[in-house]
Amino acid sequence: KAGVTQTPRYLIKTRGQQVTLSCSPISGHRSVSWYQQTPGQGLQFLFEYFSETQRNKGNFPGRFSGRQFSNSRSEMNVSTLELGDSALYLCASSRSDSEAFFGQGTRLTVV
């Protein structure tokens, strides 16, 4: 059974640009959540999508957005990148009320 797949694994972007990250959940999982991991702030919740609807949202600015498609694949977008957006972005999928399974993450570096 394939795990959670995140693409790309590594990205380097320039300040002011925008970026789109992709997450393919485990087959049958309808919930996809995104987390940001930085050395200073640790792991923080960005948002969660379930059946193409945003169900929960963390405390991040509007530059961070996401969406989910009918096949449960999800994308997150960050516009007007700042140096502080450099982080490991982790995606997790789950069935309703079950544990979350994480992908290997996308390492974003903003220069």
Partner 1 sequence: AQSVTQLDSHVSVSEGTPVLLRCNYSSSYSPSLFWYVQHPNKGLQLLLKYTSAATLVKGINGFEAEFKKSETSFHLTKPSAHMSDAAEYFCVVSALNSGNTPLVFGKGTRLSVIA
Contact status: 102 vs partner 1 (CB under 8 A): yes
Contact status: 87 vs partner 1 (CB under 8 A): no
Binding residue for partner 1, selected from 1, 70, 96, 111, defined by CB under 8 A: 96
Applying CB under 8 A, the span of 19-27, 63-71, 73-81, 99-107 interacting with partner 1 comes to: 99-107
Report cis status (omega within 30 of 0) of the bond before 39: no
Between CA 67 and CA 23 the distance in angstroms is 10
Contact status: 45 vs partner 1 (CB under 8 A): yes
Contact status: 8 vs partner 1 (CB under 8 A): no
